[in-house]
Every structure is written in C-alpha cells, then in structure tokens.
Amino acid sequence: MEGSILDSLGKELIGVMSPVSICMLLVVLLVSILSPSSSFPSSPTPTPIVTAANLVYSENPSDSTTQKFEGALLNAAVFIVLIAVVTFILVLLYYYNFTNFLKHYMRLSAFLILTTMGGAIFLSLISHFSLPFDAPTCFLSLFNFSVLGVVSVFGRGVPIIITQTYTVILGIITAAWFTQLPEWTTWGLLVALALYDLVAVLAPGGPLKILVELSQSRDDDLPALVYEARPTVSTSSGGGRRNGGLGLLVGGVSDNSSVELQNLATTIGNHSNEEIAVDDERERMRNERSDDQGETIPLVVANSSEIGVVDEERSPLVEMVAGEGRDGGDGNEEAMTAGIKLGLGDFVFYSVLVGRAAMYDLMTVYACYLAIISGLACTLILLSVCRRALPALPISIALGVIFYFLTRLLMEPFVVQTSTNLMMF
C-alpha cells in the first residue's frame, strides 16, 4: 500500500518552523532590548531611517490618519515597483547565464549586511550592556565573523548547521533594521509584499515564476539566499515510491522538485542488508555468465520477476543508485529525501511582523506568532497536495495582520478590563 504524502509532513514542518521561530524570537528580543532605550542605530524617534521603503513619504506622529494611510500606500507602491524591477533584472542576468556575476553579487550583499547592518547592531548591544570592547578587537571580530559567514553560506563542504546558523543570522539582522520603519509604512509594506508574492509566483509572466522555471529547466540552484533544512527520512510500504517531499520554497516560491529528489533517494530494506543484496546479484550475474558466455553482463538487475539487461549507455543514475524494492516490495522501506528550502525573504518579513507587534505588547506577539506558524503550515500542506509553485508569504502575512489588529483592538482591552476588575487572574 502506497504511503500518504502527509506521512513525513511533521518532520518537514519542524525542520522549517524551528529556524523561523528562532529568527522571530531573536528579533523580538532585539526590539525589546534596544528600542526602549533608543540605543538602536539611527534611532527612529527624531528621524526615521531612509530606505527604499519610505522614499516618497516620511511619516510623522503629527500627521493625520488620512495622510499616514496615503503615504503608506505610496511607499508600498514604490517599494514593490523597485522590487519588481530588480527581480526582472536578476531574471535577465540568469537567463543570459551571468551566474558568476549573480553569485559574486550575493556574496557582496551578505558581506555588507553582516559588516554594516550587523556591525551597527553589535555596537548598540555593546553600548547597551556596557561591554568592555576596544576598537581593534571589535573590528577584527566583526571582520572575521563576516568573512566566515560568507564562506559558510556560499561555500561547499561546510557543515549544514553552520550554514543554517548564518542564514538565520542574516534574516535576523535584516528584519531588525526593517522594524525601524514607521508603523503605517510597515503594515502597508507587509500587505503589499504578500500581494506581490501572490502575483509574482502564480501569474503566467510573474518574475519569480519565470526564475523558478528557468532553474528547473537547467537543473541549477536558484540565485537567491535560501535556508536549507536537513534531509528527512520517510517510511513507505509496498515498495512503491512516494512523492512526499515538499520540494523547494525560495523567496516565497515553491520549486516542486520533489519527484526528482525522491528518484535520487537511497532505498533501504529493513529486512535485508544492501551490501549483501549487491553481493547476491553479482553472484547471480557470474552464474549466468558461466552459463552463456556470449551474453552481456547486465549492469543493474531490474525489479521484475525476470532478470532484465540494462545497457550502460542508457541506464540512468537513478537505477544505478537504487532500484525500486529489490526484494519484491513486500516490506517497509525508508527513503532519504533532500531537505526543503525556504527563502530568506520569508524569514525577514515574518520577523518584521512579530517585531512590530513586540513594540506594542507581548499579547500581540503571541497572537502574531501563532498566526504566522499556522499560515506556514497551511502553505506547506497545500504545497504537498497541489504539487505546484505556491507563494509562502500571503497566508502567513494575512493571518498575522488580522490577528494583530484583532488582538490589539478587541482581545487586549477585554483581557485588561477583566484583569483589573478581578474577573480573571
């Protein structure tokens, strides 16, 4: 009996939700520690930071609600246009095989994020906790940390735990800086990004959809910063292949490569040893060769009642790596599938939402966290069922924004009133 695609869903959900939760938690801690003391770099109280998200309108506390709303819409529109233009440029460069340029660009971007933005946060923490650091030690430590981060994220042969750690750190640093944006601009930006992600992935001419299709056609990695989870082991019975892998989530995009990843899985029977099975097959091939000297020695034995001969030129790597149940497919099997990937942009904007909620109170933080995790789980379930590219931001951002305002406007006043009147402890 073929296993369900939801059998290994729990492990894959945990593999993605754990780093997302860590990223959101550390961003909330940074906002809670640095914002009240106004020790964060470029403190937003006198003048907010100037970024691509607030080029048109700079929000002031004295502005009316209408002005803030219109200004937030203008800022979000300009930011989305810039993101779309940059994405189309990346698609063109990737289409014309400027992959080396894109790789160097991403390395430079990661290095600048760690040195400049991360260095500013590091200096703020030193100032806040009054840590004894001299300038040379601080500079040398920051430089070594940044170089190690670039090598860990983009290098080969690096332990996956180090790569995952630095990828989460990049998301934390970027999200911490985005939390400095004004409140109305932040909410308008989050909603606009969720809508843009929906269009860019599902629309026929969407830039992210084109980028994913190009990557799939070339069987190459996407030119993006992604978090790669650990491989998971899924169990199936009956010898049939399961397409239970969730594929690839990059920048809010799902690259449905689970079939290819599953085909390259190493199938291991619980009731037999693989090495013993290979020795048995070789012995059988020697016996056949002794019976008939004129026949060609088969490269791999196919999974059927009769022994088939596979030409070396036509035999795929999949068949050379592992067949579909050498023992007839009667027993349970375990398949090692590659871990799913989540774009760094999803880490950033999930954390921006809970970071903004942390500026109000912890009750909204809890509500937004549960909403984001629920939305991410729904996205991964839809991805495993639909088997097509799906954006990762819309459901989580929509639930997070709705839960934030419901908690702030309804639940928080209710809880405060019942607690102050001793109706609830």
3-state SS of 341-371?
Answer: EEEHHHHHHHHHHHHHHHCCCHHHHHHHHHH
Per domain, the residue ranges of the chain are 5-35+59-232+339-352
Contact predicate 149/122, CB 8 Å? no
Instruction: Tell if the pTM clears 0.95, that is, is over it.
Output: no
Residue 160 structure tokens: 């996956």
SS3 state of residue 323: coil
What pLDDT sits at residue 317?
A: 33
Q: Of all helices (H) and strands (E), which one includes residue 11?
A: helix 9-34
Alpha helices, H only, 219-273: 258-263
Query: What is the rounded CA–CA span in Å between residue 72 and residue 116?
Result: 27
Distance CA 397, CA 193 (A): 9
Q: What is the mean pLDDT of each run of 10 residues along the chain (425 residues)?
A: 54 85 96 68 54 82 91 93 93 92 94 95 92 92 96 91 94 94 93 94 89 86 78 48 43 37 36 49 59 44 40 35 40 50 89 94 94 92 80 94 94 84 69
Task: Name the token pair of 216.
Answer: 């799939």
Q: CA–CA separation, 117 vs 53, rounded Å? A: 16
Residue type, 332: N
Please give the pLDDT value at position 288. Answer: 57
CA 45 distance to own-chain centroid: 33
Q: Which residues are known catalytic residues?
A: 197, 346
